[in-house]
Homo-oligomer: A and B are copies of this chain.
Amino acid sequence: MASFSPLIADDLAVNTIRTLAADVVGKANSGHPGAPMGMAPAAHVLFTRFFNANPKNSKWFNRDRFVLSNGCALQYILLHLLGYKLTMDDLKQFRQIGSKTPGHPEAGHTDGIEVTTGPLGQGISSAVGLAIAQAHFAAVYNKEGFDLINNYTYVFTGDGCLMEGVSSEAASLAGHLKLGNLIVVYDDNHISIDGDTAAAFTENVEARFLAYGWQVLHVDDGDHDLAGIHNAIAEARKEKEKPTIIRLRTTIGYGSKLEGTHGVHGAPLKADDIASLKTKFNFPADKTFYVPDETYKIYSDVVVRGADLEAKWNDLLAAYGRKYPNEHAELTRRISGELPAGWESFLPVYTPADPAQASRKLSEIVLAAVYPKIPDLIGGSADLTGSNLTRVKGHKDFQHPSTGLGDYSGTYIRYGVREHAMGAIANGLAAYGGIVPYIGTFLNFVSYAAGAVRLSALSGHQVIWVATHDSIGLGEDGPTHQPVETLAHFRATPNIDVWRPADGNETSAAYLVALRSKTTPSILSLSRQNLPNLEGSTIEKASKGGYVVHEEEGEDLTIVSCGSEVSIVLEAASKLKAEGIKTRVVSLPSWSVFDRQEESYKLSVLRSGAPILSVEALSTLGWQKYSHEQYGLKAWGSSGPYQKVYEHFGITGSNLAVVGKKIVDFYKKKGIPVVSPLDKAIHL
């Protein structure tokens, strides 16, 4: 890299970003002008001098990834200047309904946004996933003379992101994994919403990242020292065995009358301040959204460079294809986002004659069957591998080779006890492309990662949670580990498929739909304890999210259930039948998938005519949507051998038969026709 001499045009461009930030936030009358104004120099140097991407094809696979962890208007301004599909009018629509420029950047919504940011700590953590993905693709596909996958992941982050625990988890793991392709620029502006960071954040951030095993650099005058920024990024790129964090001392809202205070953090600049800012930078004070031609010119050079880079890369890829046709075929298939044809045929199928097994074990059997067919699968667990059963025969760990424990071609990640970072990293892995991450922990501890799970769903990242030990059925660990509220939480989250399979075929169905759902994350809620294979379950039926597992004509009662309780409910139905009460049983492994079926199908499964009782060993909240009566946990679980815990809470065939009879009597006595809970006026 040649030495760097900033030009007048560079200063002009930097100030363009600053004044644009003031205008964008000012017009919206909402947003965060301070960080864009402070980080304009770093953004300018990074994007004009280092960033390898083709704005005209934001999906070019070997592009550098950029993550603005403290997601704000800066990214939109850059996307516009760089020539992504984001016009000046889009900037003027900042924070307006239906615009490409919502309050914080959303992946899948705006061209050029890699991962959703704004919720603090998520961006930098997902960036670790982006960096892992690059390292993995390079290890698998690069060959002598074919340095095909060699992009960097750049992150801008602020104090807020670094205070969040999720970023600590991710940074510790990134250091462990020696991700030399990850470069973080830390906007050390000493200001957060509450004011000076002296009030709450006085740790030595540099020393902390050194402790994680990172390279730590710093630039003392981030407001002006473009050459210093340039040199730091260049040095970061040279370090191949460690991630780098560059501490950049900046002035938040640089140029504003309120620069350096939290007054410019989250509120628009006043009109006179914007005018004064423009005057200070020799910009026309009466013009808004003004971009000098010289600035567009500098950025258009980036576009030319990017198009050229991609063209050369495409040539390289073609040559690679001639020399390594198999690898080429696999790589291009993965880039396309299609899974290998025919993988579905390897899903295990069961009959009632097959032995009872825990659904976590059934999940392991699926993974063992499909993993050799789908190299896109990257597994892992938050230190519960032997419990989640996420690591199968043939797996190699993703580790730096110096550890002797694996290498970067490995497809199993040891996340450590870091659920939240695991979720965020998985978002990054999915966002990179060509990877379907699955990640394991106890269902109860998916809640630790709620912030990341939400962004999987909002961003449409195909992340699969292998969430085992999913109820009181985990037994002895007791209430601290037994989920109660967890599935209500995730069932209420848009664009997540929660699956709670009852047996082998249903577990296969869960994976079938989860692996086909390219823009929807899934949570597979799996039992610790053994479950019998059901008469009447098939992959096809279960793939509808809900189906009749035991039919009775002219029923007195339908019981709807899922997961480990379905076999118990079938026992109850059998006992009720002996008493002359005809009881249908519906298995509803996935509410959201069932909701997507045709109305007539849904009404045939949960039909009118007899009361419907739901049974699940969790909170009953939400089951009212599918049933008239609900049985489940009223409060916390209990510590003990699981069979005894089930007995304690009355979730047994015998007790449910008593409950069922009570319900049948109640509705008979009422003497009113019983209408399906799905037969409603309003369907949102």
Contact = CB atoms under 8 A, between A and B. Distances in A.
Interface residues of A, number: 134
Among A210, A455, A480, A622, the most chain B Cβ lie within 10 Å of the Cβ of A480
A95 B475 CA distance: 9
A118 B477 contact: yes
Interface stretch (A53-61, A246-254, A544-552, A631-639): A631-639
A473 interface: no
A386 B192 CA distance: 11
Contact of A103 (B97, B414, B477, B644): B477
A120 interface: yes
Contacts of A204: 210-213
B385 A194 contact: yes
A624 B97 CA distance: 29
A485 B478 contact: no
B489 A192 contact: no
Number of this chain's copies in the assembly equals 2
A345 interface: no
Interface string A487-510: 011111111000000000000000
Nearest to A449: B450
Contacts of A579: none
Nearest to A673: B672
In the A-B complex, the 6 residue pairs with the smallest Cβ-Cβ separation, listed nearest first, are A165-B165, A103-B478, A488-B492, A102-B639, A624-B624, A489-B489
A202 B672 CA distance: 66
Nearest to A488: B492
A597 B463 CA distance: 42
A208 interface: yes
9 contacts: A28-B476, A98-B638, A102-B638, A104-B478, A194-B384, A458-B479, A488-B621, A631-B682, A662-B682
A199 B491 CA distance: 34
B488 A418 contact: no
Contacts of A194: 381, 383-386, 414, 416
A684 B489 contact: no
Interface stretch (A168-176, A219-227, A335-343, A561-569): A168-176
A276 interface: no
A30 B475 contact: yes
A421 B165 contact: yes
Nearest to A493: B485
A492 B624 CA distance: 13
A165 B131 CA distance: 20
A166 interface: yes
Contacts of A416: 163, 192, 194, 199-201
Contacts of A96: 639-641, 644
Interface string A384-403: 11110000000001010001
Given A204-B211, A448-B450, A488-B489, A103 B639 contact: yes
Contacts of A448: 119, 164, 166, 420, 450-451
A208 B200 CA distance: 17
Given A119-B444, A119-B481, A204-B211, 13 more contacts: A28-B476, A95-B640, A98-B640, A106-B480, A164-B417, A193-B383, A194-B414, A450-B489, A485-B494, A488-B492, A492-B622, A670-B675, A672-B672
